[in-house]
């Protein structure tokens, strides 16, 4: 029997027995994908076969944001319903540790042994009201409480600092040197830049003139620009390295997750209500292709070898696999627990992570 086949067979035997630590060691060369499910746990996909191998019990409800440490030791999920995060040790397979965060934790980004988690003390955890409705009027009169970014030491399992953002903190990105944290603030229509060491607000960029509700944000591979999706305006905003807006691009309906490919030549945008993954030339920003996907596909990740993209489609209950050369769907992996976020190990580029 070939070694790769042996590893998969042994993993299948070990997982039902709860021998998680041994199973982690059987990861294929192509790696594993981890999918957070708002109505379940974390789905594990073998990237060699593109088959689901198991579901991790994270000991909490409503996982959305998901992240991994560089060495793959810790997997972290932000759990909306329980207001905490789960820290799963992939090496030992021991029971998850939980750290209380606050109301409605959503995004997770990991840098070194630190996890950064956005949460929203004032959030109602619901879509924005339609313009002109009574709910929208009430929302406009609501006192906006600043969102927070909790910094968690993963080794200690405790919150060591909180950064004060603007109302409804959302997406997170790091500067190229890792010294600054960039945050999209959804209901404030702003992007803020914070010093990671001190938490000090360094800059606030108002984006309302370009579009509303900034969500995903991504640094280009060359470190010279950022892009952010403006969800309810169907726009993509390009900013330079100093966070100055330079260009606005029209997108499909409700753009959310966004990522460059590894060499920075193409830009991918998940247009959740258009039900497509849009591909743009990252220099000219001319559209290359719309790839039909599923319903409400929020986040995606490249495989570690860059050959495929896995897209989590919450409302159609699937993970859509896309060939990055042909730009075509090659497979659909059923996942009925409302997949939200996705990362891989080894770490790869995607809307929620970067190597």
Would you say 150 and 101 are in contact if contact means Cβ atoms under 8 Å apart? yes
CA angle 334, 336, 340 (to 5 degrees): 95
pTM: 0.88
Range with the poorest average pLDDT among 3-12, 172-181, 247-256, 319-328: 3-12
Would you say 84 and 59 are in contact if contact means Cβ atoms under 8 Å apart? no
Count CB atoms within 10 A of the CB of residue 222: 12
pLDDT at 16 over 60: no
Mean predicted lDDT score pLDDT of the chain: 89
The matching CATH number, chosen from 2.120.10.30, 3.40.50.1100, 2.160.20.80, 3.30.565.10, for 251-355 is: 2.120.10.30
pLDDT of residue 226: 98
pLDDT of residue 127: 52
Closest of 84, 77, 109 to residue 196, by C-alpha: 109
What is the C-alpha to C-alpha distance for residues 252 and 346, in angstroms, rounded to an integer?
31
Q: Quick one: average pLDDT of 186-196?
A: 96
Q: For 265-297, write each residue's pLDDT tens digit.
A: 999 999 999 999 999 999 999 999 999 999 999
Would you say 66 and 117 are in contact if contact means Cβ atoms under 8 Å apart? no
Burial of 19 (0-12, 13-18, 19+ CB in 10 A): middle
Would you say 56 and 44 are in contact if contact means Cβ atoms under 8 Å apart? yes
Q: For 71-109, write each residue's pLDDT tens digit.
A: 999 999 999 999 999 999 988 888 999 999 999 999 999
pLDDT of residue 252: 97
pLDDT at 317 over 60: yes
Q: For 104-124, write each residue's pLDDT tens digit.
A: 999 999 999 999 999 988 655
pLDDT confidence of 144, banded at 50, 70, 90?
confident
pLDDT at 25 over 60: no
Contacts made by residues 287-293, CB under 8 angstroms, sequence distance 24+: 288/327, 289/327, 290/252, 291/322, 291/327, 291/328, 291/329, 292/329, 293/320, 293/322, 293/329
pLDDT of residue 92: 86
Q: Quick one: average pLDDT of 175-185?
A: 97
What is the C-alpha to C-alpha distance for residues 218 and 35, in angstroms, rounded to an integer?
20
pLDDT of residue 91: 85
Q: For 51-77, write each residue's pLDDT tens digit.
A: 999 999 999 999 999 999 999 999 999
352 CB contacts (<8 Å, ≥6 apart)? 65, 66, 67, 107, 108, 109, 257, 299, 301, 341, 342, 343
pLDDT of residue 17: 38
pLDDT at 149 over 60: yes
Q: Quick one: average pLDDT of 130-148?
A: 59
Range with the poorest average pLDDT among 14-18, 107-111, 156-160: 14-18
pLDDT of residue 124: 54
Would you say 214 and 230 are in contact if contact means Cβ atoms under 8 Å apart? yes
pLDDT at 3 over 50: no
Tokens of 89: 């040790």
In the chain, count H helices and then E strands: 3, 28
């Amino acid at each position: 029997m070939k070694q790769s086949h042996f590893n998969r067979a042994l993993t299948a035997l070990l997982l039902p027995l709860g021998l998680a630590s041994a199973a982690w060691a059987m990861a294929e060369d192509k790696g594993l994908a981890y999918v957070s499910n708002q109505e379940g746990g974390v789905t594990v996909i073998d990237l060699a076969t593109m088959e689901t191998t198991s579901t991790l019990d994270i000991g909490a409800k409503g996982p959305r944001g998901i992240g991994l440490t560089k060495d793959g030791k810790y997997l972290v999920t932000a759990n909306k319903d329980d207001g905490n995060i789960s820290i799963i040790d992939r090496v030992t397979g021991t029971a998850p540790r939980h750290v209380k965060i606050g109301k409605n934790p959503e995004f997770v980004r990991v840098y070194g042994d630190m996890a950064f988690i956005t949460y929203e003390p004032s959030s109602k955890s619901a879509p924005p009201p339609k313009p002109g409705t009574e709910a929208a009027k009430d929302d406009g009169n609501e006192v906006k409480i600043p969102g927070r970014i909790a910094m968690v030491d993963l080794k200690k399992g405790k919150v060591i600092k909180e950064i004060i953002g603007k109302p409804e903190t959302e997406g997170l990105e790091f500067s190229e040197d890792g010294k600054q944290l960039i945050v999209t603030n959804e209901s404030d229509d702003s992007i803020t830049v914070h010093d990671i060491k001190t938490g000090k607000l360094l800059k606030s960029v108002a984006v309302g003139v370009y579009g509303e509700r900034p969500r995903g944000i991504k640094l280009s591979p060359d470190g010279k620009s950022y892009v952010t999706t403006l969800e309810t305006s169907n726009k993509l905003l390009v900013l330079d390295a100093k966070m100055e807006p330079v260009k606005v691009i029209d997108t499909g309906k409700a753009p959310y997750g966004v990522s460059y490919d590894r060499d920075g030549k193409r830009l991918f945008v998940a247009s959740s209500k258009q039900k497509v993954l849009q591909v743009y030339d990252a220099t000219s920003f001319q559209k290359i292709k719309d790839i039909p996907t599923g319903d409400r596909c929020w986040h995606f990740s490249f495989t570690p070898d860059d050959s495929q993209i896995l897209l989590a489609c919450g409302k159609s209950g699937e993970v859509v696999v896309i060939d990055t050369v042909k730009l075509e769907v090659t497979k659909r992996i059923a996942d009925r627990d409302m997949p939200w976020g996705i990362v891989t190990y080894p770490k790869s580029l995607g809307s929620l992570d970067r190597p």
